[in-house]
Copies of this chain bind each other. A is one copy, B any other.
Amino acid sequence: MAPGIWKATIGAPEAATPVRSRRVPPALQGLGSLAAIAHCPLPIPEFRITQRGTELNLPLAEGELMYGFGLQLLSFQQRSKKRTIRVNADPKVDSGDSHAPVPFYVTTRGYGVLIDTFRQATFYCGEAHPKPTQAESASSLEVNTPQRMRVRDRDLQGSVRIEAPRCAGLDVYVFGGPTMLEAVQRYNLFSGGGVLPPEWGLGFWYRAEMHLNGDEVLKLAESLRADAIPCDVLGLEPGWQTHAYSCTFAWDRHRFPEPSSFIQQAASEGFRVNLWEHAFTHPASPIFAELVPFAGDIAVWDGLVPDFAAEGGRRVFGGYHGRELIDRGISGFKLDECDNSDFTEGWSFPDNSRFPSGIDGEQMHAQFGLRYQDTIWDEFRKRGTQTYGLVRSSGALAAPYPFVLYSDLYDHRQFVRALVNSGFSGLLWCPEVRDASSAEDLVRRLQTVVLSPLAMVNAWYIRNPPWKQMDRDKNNRNEFSEGWEALQARCQEIIGMRMQLLPYLRGAFARYRAEGVPPFRALVMDFPDDPSLAAVDDQYLIGDRLMAAPLFAGEAVRNIVFPPGQWQDFWTGAMVTERKITVQGSTRNIPLYIKAGSLMPWAEVGPHTGAAEARRLSVRVYGDGHRRWSAPHAAGGLQLAWQEGKGGVQQPGSQKRPFVVTGWERIGS
**Which A positions have Cβ atoms within 8 angstroms of B?**
51-52, 55, 80-84, 90, 92-95, 122, 124-125, 127-138, 140-141, 143-146, 148-151, 161, 163, 165-166, 210-211, 239, 241-245, 248, 252, 282-284, 288-289, 292, 295-299, 301-305, 341-347, 349-353, 360, 362
By Cβ-Cβ distance, the 4 closest A-B pairs, closest first, are A82-B346, A150-B245, A93-B343, A136-B283
Task: Find out whether the CB atom of A133 lies under 8 angstroms from the CB atom of B93.
Answer: no
B304 to A132, Cβ gap below 8 A?
A: yes
> Chain B CB within 10 Å — which of A131, A150, A295 has the most?
A131
A296 to B131, CA, bound (A): 7
Name the residue on B nearest A144 (C-beta): B239
Chain B: CB-nearest residue to A90: B93
- 18 further A-B contacts with Cβ under 8 Å, apart from A82-B342, A131-B297, A143-B243, are A52-B166, A52-B360, A82-B345, A95-B343, A124-B350, A125-B346, A128-B298, A131-B295, A133-B292, A136-B282, A140-B243, A141-B284, A144-B239, A144-B242, A145-B243, A148-B241, A150-B243, A163-B352
Are A94 and B148 in contact, with the CB atoms below 8 A?
no
Task: List residues of chain B with CB within 8 A of the CB of A151.
Answer: 243-245
| A125, closest chain B residue (CB) | B346
Complex CA gap A151/B137 in Å reads 64
Which among A122, A144, A165 has the greatest number of chain B C-beta atoms within 10 A?
A: A144
Instruction: Determine which of B128, B292, B345 lies in contact with A131 in the assembled complex, contact meaning CB atoms within 8 Å.
Output: B292
A130 in contact with B343 (CB, 8 Å):
no
Chain B CB within 10 A, most for which of A143, A244, A289: A244
B-chain residues with CB within 8 Å of residue A248 when the two chains form the complex: 141
Which residue on chain B has the smallest CB distance to residue A461?
B147
Please give the distance in Å from A568's CB to the nearest CB on chain B: 40
CB distance from A160 to the nearest CB of B (A): 11
Interchain nearest-CB distance for A620 vs B (Å): 43
**Are the CB atoms of A298 and B244 closer together than 8 Å?**
no
Give the one of A83, A289, A295, A302 with max B CB within 10 A: A302
The reply to whether A128 and B353 contact each other, CB–CB distance below 8 Å, is yes
Interfacial chain B residues near A303, Cβ < 8 Å: 132
Per the bound structure, the CA–CA distance linking A297 and B151 in Å amounts to 21
Q: How far is the CB of A140 from chain B (nearest CB, A)?
A: 6
CA distance A244 to B124 in the complex (A): 19
Q: Which residue from chain B places its CB closest to the CB of A133 in the assembled complex?
A: B292
Q: Are B84 and A342 in contact (CB under 8 A)?
A: yes
Task: List chain B residues, Cβ under 8 A from A148.
Answer: 210, 241, 245
> Cβ of A346: which chain B residues have Cβ within 8 Å of it?
80-83, 124-125, 127
Is B350 within 8 A of A140, CB to CB? no
Contact partner of A145 (CB less than 8 A), chosen from B80, B165, B245, is: B245
Closest Cβ of chain B to A318, distance in Å, is 20
Q: Are B243 and A304 in contact (CB-based, < 8 A)?
A: no
Residue in chain B with minimal CB distance to A75? B345
